[in-house]
Amino acid sequence: MHIKELVLDNFKSFGRKTRIPFYEDFTVVTGPNGSGKSNIIDAVLFALGLARTRGIRAEKLTDLIYNPGHDDGDRSGGPREAIVEVVLDNTDRTLTRSQVVNAAGSDNVGDVDEIRVKRRVKETEDNYYSYYYLNDRSVNLSDIQDLLAQAGVAPEGYNVVMQGDVTEIINMTPHSRREIIDEIAGVAEFDAKKEDALAE
C-alpha cells in the first residue's frame, strides 16, 4: 500500500484545490524556501490523524486553514474550511475489503482498490469542527487509526520521519535504537504480547 495522491483544498498555503501525485517507491518534492513542501507533510499528518504525536507545525487546528494574509498576520473573512484527502493505493489488498467495511461502518465503501482518508476542519464564528471520512463515509478518528494500524501505520510509528528524528535517533543509546528497529520490523508488537503472556 502506498499514498497515490494527496488532494489539498484550502490547506495552509494551498488556497486552491491542488492534487499532488505520489509514485510507488519514491517521490521527491522540491521547491524554493517557503513554497509549501513541509506543508505537504503537514497535510498528510493532519488527514491521517497523526498530527498530535508527529508534531505538525501549527498551534491551533484552524491555523491550517488557508489564509491569504498569513504572512502579515491578517485574518480574512469568507469561508474558513480546509480539506485534505489522502488517496491510498490498496490494489495489493494490504487492507481487506472487510477491514475497510468494518472501519467505515458501512458496506457502501466502493472499490477498495482505493482507500480515501479525508479530514475537514471548519471554523465558525465562535467554534471549530473537525470531521473524518473514509471512502466518503463519515467516521471517527479512532476508526481511521484502527484501520491504519492494521496496515502498519501507527501514530507513534516511524512511517513519518520528521527532521529532528534523525538527530534524535543518532544520539540514542544502542538499546533505544534497537527498540525503533524492532518497532519498524513489526517485532515490538510480539515482544509486548510475549511479556503479557509471561506475566500471566
List contacts with ligand ATP (CB under 6 A): 12-13, 31, 33-39, 63, 65-67, 70-71
**Residue 67 marked in a binding site:** no
3-state secondary structure of 44: helix
**Residue 32 marked in a binding site:** yes
Residue 67's binding partner out of ligand ATP, Mg ion, none, with CB under 5 to 8 Å set by partner kind:
ligand ATP
Nearest to 150 by CA among 83, 200, 88: 88
**Residue 130 marked in a binding site:** no
Residue 162 CB, shortest distance to Mg ion, in Å, is: 11
* Pairwise CA distance, residues 50 & 145, whole Å: 9
Residue 32 CB, shortest distance to Mg ion, in Å, is: 10
- Quote the cell numbers at residue 93: 489488498
Q: How many CB atoms lie within 10 A of CB 32?
A: 7
Buried b / exposed e over 53-68, threshold 16 CB at 10 Å, is: ebebeeeebbebbbbe
**Residue 37 marked in a binding site:** yes
Please answer whether residues 86 and 31 qualify as being in contact, where contact means their C-beta atoms are separated by less than 8 angstroms: no
Residue 49's binding partner out of Mg ion, ligand ATP, none, with CB under 5 to 8 Å set by partner kind:
none
Strands (DSSP E) found in the chain: 2-9, 18-21, 81-89, 114-123, 128-134, 137-139
> Between 43 and 104, whose beta carbon lies closer to ligand ATP?
43
* Pairwise CA distance, residues 105 & 69, whole Å: 40
> Between 44 and 88, whose beta carbon lies closer to Mg ion?
44
Residue 3 CB, shortest distance to Mg ion, in Å, is: 18
Q: Which residue is nearest to Mg ion (CB)?
A: 38
> Between 1 and 58, whose beta carbon lies closer to ligand ATP?
58
**Residue 34 marked in a binding site:** yes
> Between 37 and 122, whose beta carbon lies closer to Mg ion?
37
Q: Which residues belong to the annotated binding site?
A: 32-39
Query: Which residues are known binding-site members for ATP?
Result: 32-39
